[in-house]
Amino acid sequence: MGCVEALNYEILIRGASFKECREYIRSHFPESIDVEPGFKIFDVHTIGVPPIAVGIDGDFVIFPYTKPCHGTFLLRVQDAEEAARLRVLKKGR
Amino acid sequence: MEPDTIAQPPKTALLVLGCPQVPVQTSIALYLVSRLKSAGITPVIAGNKAANTLLVVADPDRHYLGEITDLDRAVAQITEKKRDFDQCFVFIHNDAGISYAATMGVISKATLYVLVYGEHQEDIVQQITFPCIKMAAKAVHNPLPLKKVIDEVAPWAA
């Protein structure tokens, strides 16, 4: 089980809906990959209505993070390895 | 000679709690736990700290509650195939609740039930397009409208 607090994240959107996050990622970032709920990013299992869009922008990964009382946050985390992993995954599809 | 019967393990149910800001959640969760237990189904509660604590304080001698776990931990265990349930009940009164229900529908093999309540229950129901059994009522402070719907569906008898 991962903890998002261990990440050095930037909040791009807070209190959003899952639809808003998906649309924001697809319209604001050069690359994105659709994943299923439960998909692990940075040791965190993603929560959402499929397909869940995850953005890739250089070394940054942009992904939704949902909490029961606060809705969905769109987080941006710099991590070259995770960005590369997602790119490989996308290429393999 | 009669064939030997193989004892089946008891059925299990996961109750996924939402934010406890709508009062009916705690009441309905205890009610559902009670009905499931009476039917021989083992209920497990998964919620955040506030939602779980509301239940624990309301049932100090554990007449109703059994296992209670952290929501993130439950999601991780199910996703990693370390655990699963026969039934899953997701409490929904906001967008996050829809996300958790959709997630359970993908990661778990359980029969998925959603309990939709609160001021915006009609809007929320329309957004739930994934396969599940819906139980919905405009219940905020009074749990009886939602209890009535649950009793009609009687998921413990499924």
ipTM: 0.92
**Any domain includes B7:** no
Res A5: pLDDT: 77
Tens of pLDDT, residues B122-146: 999 999 999 999 999 999 999 999 9
Report the CATH number that the domain containing residue B47 is assigned in CATH. 3.40.50.10160
B50-105 tens-digit pLDDT? 999 999 999 999 999 999 999 999 999 999 999 999 999 999 999 999 999 999 99
Q: Is the pLDDT of residue A1 over 50?
A: no
Number of domains into which chain B is organized:
1
Q: Which domain holds residue B27?
A: 12-157
Kindly state whether A51 is in contact with chain B, defined as any CB-CB distance less than 8 angstroms. Answer: no
Indicate whether B2 belongs to any domain: no
CA B100-A65-A67 angle, 5° bins = 55
Convert the pLDDT of each residue in A25-81 to its tens digit.
Answer: 999 998 999 999 999 999 899 999 999 999 999 999 999 999 999 999 999 999 999
- What are the domain boundaries of chain A? 8-91
Query: Is residue B68 included in any domain, yes or no?
Result: yes
Give domain status of residue B40, yes or no: yes
- B47 has a chain A CB within 8 A of its CB: yes
Question: How wide is the angle at C-alpha A71 spanned by C-alphas A67 and A74, nearest 5°?
Answer: 90
Q: Is residue B6 part of a domain?
A: no
Q: How far is A71 from chain B (nearest CA, A)?
A: 5
Pick among B100, B103, B109 to test the A interface (most A CBs inside 10 A): B103
Segments in chain B forming alpha helices (H): 24-38, 49-58, 71-79, 95-107, 121-127, 144-153
Q: Is some CB atom of chain A closer than 8 A to the CB atom of B106?
A: yes
Predicted TM-score (pTM) of the model is 0.93
